[in-house]
Amino acid sequence: MAAAAAPGALGAWQAGRVRLVAASCAPLGPRWRLPGSLTGPRLGSAIWARGRAPAAGGLPLRRGYGSEVKTDDELRVRYLEEENRGIVVLGINRAHAKNSFSKNLVKMLSKAVDALKSDKKVRTVIVRSEVPGIFCAGADLKERVKMNPSEVGPFVSKIRAVINEIANLPVPTIAALDGLALGGGLELALACDIRVAASSAKMGLVETKLAIIPGGGGTQRLPRAIGMSLAKELIFSARVLDGQEAKAVGLVSHVLEQNQEGDAAYRKALDLAREFLPQGPVAMRVAKLAINQGMEVDLVTGLAIEEACYAQTIPTKDRLEGLLAFKEKRSPRYKGE
């Protein structure tokens, strides 16, 4: 009886894996195709090029690269020009409150991200501070103390949502930590694909000092970044690390001595973003999706996700352009198609 049941159990497991791969590839669009034995309608390359539609109430269309979209003085959005075209910089600018998350800043970040995820010309996003010595000090506690208890939960949910939106951007994201990143500030950085820091930067999830816990994804993303045991130690102790200590535990990828201008981490982030620009735009988006989704499942399912994602690059014009450029010994001219 047990032997007879085994094939059915295996079939159910395989069906479950197909459903999981399908869910993982959902961001590819409604016409994605699983390769091999995992079949379905094919994703057209235009789906990736179009991206998702902007949310209602999102930012108006930008005026062009190099223009600064002034959502508010608390957030500056810059589309870089010339050799940096495709790089977008989100600059937090709440000097009077150490760049802490206010209701207005959260709203502005959400609108900015809505605009970015539907803009196919965006290739990399850098999150930085416009305030020397500060990245983001977390929630605005002066604003928080005025809230009724019934308001706190919904507001934290909004912070968590905007941080998740940044994590779900389809293009590479880099956090440039040139100063203090505490609580929600570090959670914002953890949502980015890559973190770079000045050696003088300070960072930590310090919420337990206030008898609460990280509420913007910190309890989930920190263990995934540095391991469960060390993440527990840092959260339990509310310990603050400098840039060198953060690099030693794997919290940041690069650490640099701070310069006179106070923007060493930002300059390194810009260098990394420039390295990403020549690569195929569709490939970059699909690679990020494959890595992100694959890390949340077992290896067998992860490899199926990779196979499904790889299949989406095959019919693209960019892939053919890459082969032609290799043959002609020139730099490729990718269009994200």
- CA-to-CA distance for 283 and 294, rounded, in angstroms? 16
Q: Are 167 and 289 in contact (CB under 8 A)?
A: no
Residue of 187, 245, 306, 337 with catalytic role: 187
The answer to whether the CB of 244 falls within 8 A of the CB of 83 is no
| 99: Cβ contacts below 8 Å, ≥ 6 apart | 92, 93, 129, 131, 134, 135, 136, 137, 185
- Out of 184, 243, 322, 336, which one is annotated catalytic? 184
User: What token pair was written down for 93?
Assistant: 């600018």
Q: What are phi and psi of 181, to 5 degrees?
A: -135, 95
Summary count for the chain: helices (H), strands (E): 13, 11
Active-site annotation holds for 207 = yes
Structure tokens at 326: 């290799």
Q: Which of 112, 115, 139, 231 is catalytic?
A: 139
Beta strands at 68-72 and 75-79: parallel, antiparallel or unpaired:
antiparallel
Annotation marks residue 184 as catalytic: yes
The DSSP output letter for 262 is S
238-254 CB burial, b ≥16 within 10 A, e <16: eebbbbebbbeeebbeb
The one catalytic residue among 130, 165, 207, 306: 207
| Secondary structure of residue 280 in the 3-state scheme | coil
Catalytic site includes residue 68: no
Give catalytic status of residue 275 as yes or no: no
Catalytic residues: 139, 184, 187, 207
